[in-house]
Structure 1
Amino acid sequence: MCPSIIQIKSRSSILNRTDYRPSSSRSSRDLGVHISLQQAERVLQSMDKNGTMTVDWNEWKKSPTLQPAENLPEIILYWKHSTIFDVGENMMVPDEFTSEEHMTGMLWRHLVAGGGAGAVSRTCTAPLDRLKVLMQVHGSHGNNMCIMSGLTQMIKEGGMRSLWRGNGINVIKIAPESALKFMAYEQIKRLMGSSQETLGITERFVAGSLAGVIAQSTIYPMEVLKTRLALRKTSQYKGISDCAKQILKGEGMTAFYKGYVPNMLGIIPYAGIDLAVYETLKNTWLQRYGTDDAYPGVFVLLACGTVSSTCGQLASYPLALVRTRMQAQAAVEGASQVSMTGLFKQIMKTEGPTGLYRGLTPNFLKVIPAVSISYVVYEHIKTTLGVQSR
């Protein structure tokens, strides 16, 4: 095929989802670009000099504003696998991989890179994560804990090492949860009967949310352990196994599933909003700037990931707070066993709507460094594993 035709088809794939040629249609679907017929016609008219609504080679080479995209699959992957930004939450929709990536082993390299990036990112932001848990559980009108007083209290009680309490289990659970979520996601896609390699945004949300529920249901006892370890006092537990034994002995097996319902409910707003905002920002950028440069660049990807994650957390935060308080009930002296709805009513009555957002500040403070660290480490591990990216 003539190189000029390849270039025209590649560029049209990015700009025009109404292009009915198979390669163009598939490429635009993989990118998830949404552009109206009128917008596509304006792009065509800007190059069409003779009014035929077709662009020949002479018109194409005289168009000064367009730079041909030579490797469309690379552009797709640049966006597609930039959704693995770990901010310590467990509610993201899993990434998608092509059949070629399955066969070549690139899938597992991406998952390993994502797991490694998550471990480093969570470890670096662990003090803010523990502070968030303390503010969620102990914060009230009577104990108006702020960032500085909370950090000072943690260091005074247990030294600098206490800032990382609960981080070990938080890192350990990355691998099993990621693997379970991905396997469940792939199976659900097949059960949905989709013949397409890439799902639409609604299908991705449904499949991703269900996969999240399955993965979280399996590893949820580790979530409870993380909260208890983050709240523990010096010498209260000897380690993860000792914490698990004490909970099992003193409270029974049901203690490992306290807060389960609000946690599962929180997956829906978090995953839905995170995915929708990321896709919207991506499509907006491609429609506005994709005609000049199809590659977004690091800062655009980081901005999309940060904003989408922040919006998802903002929507699901009250459920996350109630979940944490339910997980911690037996660990807090004098705390009564209250149900999810009972806790909502109690917080609204005693603390007002703002009580549902206690600990939100350190939670938001960790998003930008978590996304940035996750991205840098992810790219570095990908390169080490031989995953090609621009």
Structure 2
Amino acid sequence: MDVQTLLASCYASIFSRLICYPLDTIAIQHASSTRRPIFSVPFRTYYRGILPSTVLVTPAISVYLTIYRQSKAFLIPHFGDTTTTYLLAGTTAELTSSFIWTPLEVIKSRLQISSTTKEGSLSENLKDIWRKEGIRGFYRGYLLGLVVFIPYNGIWWTVYEHTKKAAPRDWAISSQAALGGCVATMTSVCCCHPLDLIKTRYQVATTTTVGRVGGERLEDARGVVRVIQNVLGERKFGLGFYKGLGARLMCSTPSSLISMAVFEYFSPDKTAENALSSSLHEGNLEGERL
């Protein structure tokens, strides 16, 4: 296990979460159609759930980034430092870490859309999920999450790695990573936002906050197909699927910029160089045997 990568991913998660959490809260409220006018509530409300979110999400991010690096190191000797490697490594990281991610996303989203202190309580949300849906409630939207994030991660890592390669060589590694994170996030969010919106609305469909919205929103709990039908009926030409896109970009872009700059600053990616060096070393040893 790469301890340096684990620690760097922890630093990246904490830095980006502390700075960008209010933006993430606004984005979740937009996607779930529970947003309130900005500054209509105390600013601290936008940090509701940050402690459990940081404590719970940081290990998941650490697992995710570490698995990506290790998968990439394993795949490079077979496929080279190519798009195929990035796609496969990103998919492997998502499939492995999604079992941790889904319960965390369900809880985090519920905390962020809550409109009262009680609804924003971690213990209250845990009891509410367990009482209404049992263990299945914590994995609400699990398969849909895979549908969203497997293509998202494939796009993200491919764009990120190629953008880093295209960045000026005289830039610091953290600057290259910041550019890569920024471009990768804008590209993948724009491509996958409709799926993410459906997932978010389905995950929070059984909350008290959504219950107060009433109307067709109560029907979201019936399933993904019903969520899609409701979104289609809310705006013409399917524009409802891009509701909250601006808010999501405003949150995700600086978050990725900060997290990847911090991550690569503390743990520069030497995977390709190490794989090439190892390959040359093995070739030299083989030559000596001959």
* Fold shared by both chains (TM-score > 0.5): yes
The CA RMSD over aligned residues, in Å, is: 3.1
**Per-residue deviation, residues 296-339 of structure 1 (Å, max 9, x unmatched):** 34555422320111101111111111111011111111312232
Distance in structure 1 (CA, Å) of the matches to 2:177 and 2:64: 23
Distance 1:165 1:371, change over 3 A: same
Distance 1:129 1:186, change over 3 A: closer
Q: Which residue of 1 aligns with 2:114?
A: 232
Distance 1:359 1:279, change over 3 A: same
The structure 1 residue matched to 2:58, chosen from 136, 161, 175, is 175
Distance 1:274 1:189, change over 3 A: closer
SS at 2:32 equivalent? helix
**TM-score, normalization by structure 1:** 0.58
Distance in structure 1 (CA, Å) of the matches to 2:184 and 2:163: 8
Residue pair 1:269, 1:315 contacting (<8 A) in 2 also: no
Q: Which residue of 2 aligns with 1:31?
A: none
> Displacement of 1:119 after TM fit?
1.2
SS at 2:118 equivalent? coil
Distance 1:195 1:303, change over 3 A: closer
Residue pair 1:258, 1:327 contacting (<8 A) in 2 also: yes
The structure 2 residue matched to 1:130, chosen from 25, 28, 44, is 25
Distance 1:205 1:380, change over 3 A: closer
Distance in structure 2 (CA, Å) of the matches to 1:185 and 1:382: 13
Distance in structure 2 (CA, Å) of the matches to 1:193 and 1:304: 21
The structure 1 residue matched to 2:95, chosen from 205, 210, 213, is 213
Q: Which residue of 1 aligns with 2:195?
A: 319
Residue pair 2:31, 2:243 contacting (<8 A) in 1 also: yes
Which runs of 5 or more residues in structure 2 are unaligned? 269-290
Distance 1:344 1:170, change over 3 A: same
Q: Does 1:344 align with 2:220?
A: no
**TM-score, normalization by structure 2:** 0.76
Distance in structure 1 (CA, Å) of the matches to 2:39 and 2:111: 18
Structure whose residues are more often helix by fraction: 2
Distance in structure 2 (CA, Å) of the matches to 1:193 and 1:363: 32
- Aligned pairs for 1:224-373 (under 5 A) are 224-237=106-119, 239-285=121-167, 294-297=169-172, 299-331=175-207, 332-333=210-211, 334=214, 335-336=218-219, 337-352=221-236, 353-373=238-258
**Percent of aligned pairs with the same residue?**
24
Which runs of 5 or more residues in structure 1 are unaligned? 1-101, 140-144, 384-390
Distance in structure 1 (CA, Å) of the matches to 2:24 and 2:70: 32
